[in-house]
Amino acid sequence: MKQKIIVIGSGFGGLGAAIRLAAAGHDVELFEKRDKLGGRAYVYEINGFKFDGGPTVITAPFMFDDLWAVAGRKREDYFEMVPCDPFYRIFDWNKRAFDYNDDAAFILSQIEQWNPADKDGYQRFMGTTKAIFQKGFVELADKPFLSIMDMLKVAPDLIKMQSYLSVYKYVSQFIQDDFLRRCFSFHPLLIGGNPFDAPSIYAMIHYLERAWGIHYAIGGTGAVVNAMGRLFEELGGKVHLSTEVDEILIEQKRAAGIRTRDGQIYQADSVVCNADVGFTYDKLIRKDNQSLYARAKMSLMKYSMSLFVIYFGTKKQYRDHGLAHHNIILSERYKALLSDIFNRKALSQDFSLYLHMPTLTDPSIAPPGCEAFYVLSPVPHLGSGVDWTIAAKPYRDAIMQFLEDNYLPDLQANIIAEHYIDPLHFQGELNSRMGSAFSVQPVLTQSAWFRPHNRSEDFDNLYFVGAGTHPGAGLPGVLSSSIIVQDLIGPAAEPSHRQPVDPGLSIATGD
Ligand SMILES: Cc1cc2nc3c(=O)[nH]c(=O)nc-3n(C[C@H](O)[C@H](O)[C@H](O)COP(=O)(O)OP(=O)(O)OC[C@H]3O[C@@H](n4cnc5c(N)ncnc54)[C@H](O)[C@@H]3O)c2cc1C
């Protein structure tokens, strides 16, 4: 039955749900607080540079193809994706680099340079990740976990796959070299998890990378957001930008609609909320409408770390400086630094960085002869008590000086565009509880049924999509949540992506 549906928030989860529901024939209106679509994928345009604010790595390109297929269109007609090679260049604290891509022989040759004895272990590790991917992604990521029974049904498989181990511990069973262990276990950080706490099921991210590659959208991730906005409007969807929702209206235990900041009321048959789920329970639903259970569950949730991100453009190019499109620069301290960020909630002097250099692949996002970058440092969320109005500038200076001294000579004299964000941005601009960059932390006790559900426990017609719900953060995760919500509202999606065509990954040998 055709419904009037309101979607709150235009992150990838919100946009994905809005497109799917509009394609299914519903009348969908989307309300976004900011002046542009995209949520964490907001684009900053400064002095001729286009900086993607958030996601830069596309790991499951087939999910975008599926979204366009659902709408009866071809993704290729809207934006172009190109593969990145290497996937990542990972530097140790002595600036020695390890590259990997989708070529087994190449990866083994890289491992050979660090610790030849780990070649065999890497192949055994890869051999186990396919089964983890099949269970964790293909079978579970786009299924709702609304009842404890759903959880109990999968528990034996989770135990069989050693999901009780952390990703780091899981990888360490196969790989001896400490730096290589880091290279094959850092992936939970991409979705807000600590490799020492996140369940080993996230080892599937490496399988996903190897099987389908890492892609970049020409024009930046912002080009994907624009394409999704265009697709939604072509399907008859209506977008309200710069329109913050103040309250989800509840009548007789059902979501009746929303009230926006300017006092307007919009009614709906169903509401899909892409705003941070912790913030939603805190601010958008009146407490006297919430059950004690929901309030208690939300108040006990642990939130992932935050990020400090500096977007900068230089008037000169930094080719031949040994950098790749995606660079990870690891601090010598790994476990202790992660513990500072996730457990002690202390801002350390040292940092591990992700350095994005998209102009290597796509010069169109910077003025001619210039280079665009962003550098990201994981930092504790606002539970740390750090006063970022004071700490931000010295932290920025320390990171830029480090880059200038080690990777980008004369950097600061060449910057012609710059902007930075800190945990206060995630809290104030993106309405994220604790200023977390990835919402609810991915640990076993906050996964699947234990995570905030995709349908509210309190109100049958209130749905949640996005990083804080099942299955979790990252583009594949939040797009999966939009499939779940389409299935729950109906009519259910054709399950095309659930059996993504595996490109026949060669893992056991170097050929
Ligand atoms: C710096 C950074 C880099 C990342 N890199 C990658 C990457 O390379 N690859 C990857 O897969 N993932 C990456 N991630 C994670 C990924 O970007 C996120 O998990 C994902 O984009 C979150 O999508 P979402 O659907 O949860 O919505 P969000 O992006 O969180 O958007 C929610 C939207 O809701 C809006 N909103 C909130 N409250 C209201 C309200 N009351 N009224 C109206 N609107 C409201 C917000 O303004 C926002 O636009 C990265 C994240 C960050 C922060």
CA torsion, ordered 337, 478, 101, 194, to nearest 10 deg: 20
Q: Is 107 in the pocket of ligand 1 (CB under 6 A)?
A: no
pLDDT of residue 457 exceeding 80, the answer is yes
- What pLDDT score does 459 carry? 96
pLDDT tier at 155 (50, 70, 90 boundaries)?
Answer: confident
Residues whose CB falls within 8 Å of the CB of residue 198, separated by 6 or more in sequence, listed in order: 166, 167, 188, 442, 443
Nearest-CA residue for ligand 1 atom 49 is 39
* Token digits of residue 249: 């209206």
- What pLDDT score does 509 carry? 41
**Coil/strand/helix, residue 220:** coil
pLDDT tier at 259 (50, 70, 90 boundaries)?
Answer: very high
pLDDT tier at 416 (50, 70, 90 boundaries)?
Answer: very high
Q: Show the DSSP H helices in 407-471 as ranges.
A: 411-414, 423-428
Mutate to test the pocket of ligand 1, among 87, 186, 273, 274 (most ligand atoms within 8 A of CB): 274
The strand ranges marked E within 139-292 are: 215-217, 238-240, 245-251, 254-260, 265-267, 270-273
Q: Is 309 in the pocket of ligand 1 (CB under 6 A)?
A: yes
- What pLDDT score does 506 carry? 56
CATH: 3.50.50.60, 3.30.1330.120, 3.40.50.1100, 3.10.20.90. Which one for 4-40+218-302+443-489?
3.50.50.60
Q: Is 56 in the pocket of ligand 1 (CB under 6 A)?
A: yes
Average pLDDT rounded to a whole number, residues 313-320 = 96
pLDDT tier at 499 (50, 70, 90 boundaries)?
Answer: low
Nearest-CA residue for ligand 1 atom 18 is 474
Q: Is 57 in the pocket of ligand 1 (CB under 6 A)?
A: yes
pLDDT of residue 199 exceeding 90, the answer is yes
Nearest-CA residue for ligand 1 atom 1 is 54
Q: What are phi and psi of 226, to 5 degrees?
A: -60, -40
The strand ranges marked E within 244-399 are: 245-251, 254-260, 265-267, 270-273, 306-314, 326-329, 353-356, 371-379
- What pLDDT score does 510 carry? 40
Q: Is 7 in the pocket of ligand 1 (CB under 6 A)?
A: no
pLDDT tier at 497 (50, 70, 90 boundaries)?
Answer: low
Amino acid 421 reads I
Q: Is 40 in the pocket of ligand 1 (CB under 6 A)?
A: yes
pLDDT tier at 511 (50, 70, 90 boundaries)?
Answer: very low
Compute the Cα dihedral for 235, 240, 242, 244 and give only its sign.
Answer: negative
Q: Is 63 in the pocket of ligand 1 (CB under 6 A)?
A: no
For residues 253 and 288, give the distance between their C-alpha atoms in angstroms, rounded to a whole number.
11
pLDDT of residue 8 exceeding 90, the answer is yes
pLDDT tier at 492 (50, 70, 90 boundaries)?
Answer: confident
- What pLDDT score does 160 carry? 85
Q: What are phi and psi of 180, to 5 degrees?
A: -65, -35
**Ligand 1 centroid to residue 278 C-alpha, Å:** 14
Residues whose CB falls within 8 Å of the CB of residue 479, separated by 6 or more in sequence, listed in order: 12, 13, 16, 60, 63, 64, 67
Chain Cα centroid distance, residue 7: 20
Mutate to test the pocket of ligand 1, among 8, 34, 37, 40 (most ligand atoms within 8 A of CB): 40
pLDDT of residue 500 exceeding 50, the answer is yes
CA torsion, ordered 140, 144, 147, 152, to nearest 10 deg: 0
pLDDT tier at 508 (50, 70, 90 boundaries)?
Answer: very low
Nearest-CA residue for ligand 1 atom 20 is 474
Higher per-residue pLDDT: 455 or 1: 455
**Ligand 1 centroid to residue 12 C-alpha, Å:** 7
pLDDT of residue 505 exceeding 70, the answer is no
Atom of ligand 1 nearest to the CA of 243: 43
CB atoms within 10 A of CB 17: 33
pLDDT tens column, 320-373 = 899 999 999 999 999 999 999 999 999 999 999 999 999 999 999 999 999 999
Report in angstroms the alpha-carbon separations of 64 from 74, 142, 456: 10, 15, 26
Average pLDDT rounded to a whole number, residues 475-502 = 84
Least-confidence region, from 388-397, 440-449, 461-470: 440-449
Q: Is 28 in the pocket of ligand 1 (CB under 6 A)?
A: no
CB atoms within 10 A of CB 488: 18
Average pLDDT rounded to a whole number, residues 475-490 = 96
pLDDT of residue 263 exceeding 60, the answer is yes
pLDDT tens column, 285-314 = 999 999 999 999 999 999 999 999 999 999
Nearest-CA residue for ligand 1 atom 50 is 55
- What pLDDT score does 31 carry? 98
Query: What share of the chain has pLDDT > 70, as a percent?
Result: 97
Q: Rounded to two decimals, what is the model's pTM?
A: 0.96
Nearest-CA residue for ligand 1 atom 22 is 467
For residues 163 and 175, give the distance between their C-alpha atoms in angstroms, rounded to a whole number.
18
Average pLDDT rounded to a whole number, residues 16-20 = 98
Q: Is 30 in the pocket of ligand 1 (CB under 6 A)?
A: no
Nearest-CA residue for ligand 1 atom 2 is 54
**Coil/strand/helix, residue 111:** helix
Higher per-residue pLDDT: 281 or 502: 281
